[in-house]
Amino acid sequence: NAGVTQTPKFQVLKTGQSMTLQCAQDMNHNSMYWYRQDPGMGLRLIYYSASEGTTDKGEVPNGYNVSRLNKREFSLRLESAAPSQTSVYFCASESGKTNTGELFFGEGSRLTVL
């Protein structure tokens, strides 16, 4: 029962470096999301994908890009990392087939930008 799998779990970058966070789900869900979690601010939506082939900006999209590679995979890319992007990142998925919603989360990726 893998659910939602994120890689890497930990990463340290220098300012200006780039990296991609990978996310895959095995539940045949239509919708996928990327959130960041910062102390005292809860979860903030970066980007989401309602279905394969579509992506939309969330609350805090600046500095990020996403790719919905196929139904299973949804990656988040930082082109030029900044210290303000130090955070814990969570990928989540939702079936998209009911009107009641339930998110399934990965274990998170802790990113530090020096």
Partner 1 sequence: GNSVTQMEGPVTLSEEAFLTINCTYTATGYPSLFWYVQYPGEGLQLLLKATKADDKGSNKGFEATYRKETTSFHLEKGSVQVSDSAVYFCALYLYNFNKFYFGSGTKLNVKP
31 binds partner 1 (CB under 8 A): yes
Residues 70/6, Cβ–Cβ less than 8 Å: no
CA distances to 60, 73, 99 from 23, in Å: 19, 6, 24
Q: Is the dihedral of CA 45, 46, 52, 54 positive or negative?
A: positive
Q: Is the peptide bond before 8 cis (omega within 30 degrees of 0)?
A: yes
19 binds partner 1 (CB under 8 A): no
Output the smallest distance, CB 26 to partner 1, in A.
15
- Residue 47 or residue 64: which is nearer to partner 1 going by CB? 47
Residues 13/80, Cβ–Cβ less than 8 Å: no
Sites for partner 1 among residues 54-113 (CB under 8 A): 90, 92, 94, 96, 99-108
- Which window, 11-19, 37-45, 65-73, 75-83, contacts partner 1 (CB under 8 A)? 37-45
Residues that bind partner 1 (CB under 8 A): 4, 31, 33, 40-43, 45, 48, 50, 90, 92, 94, 96, 99-108
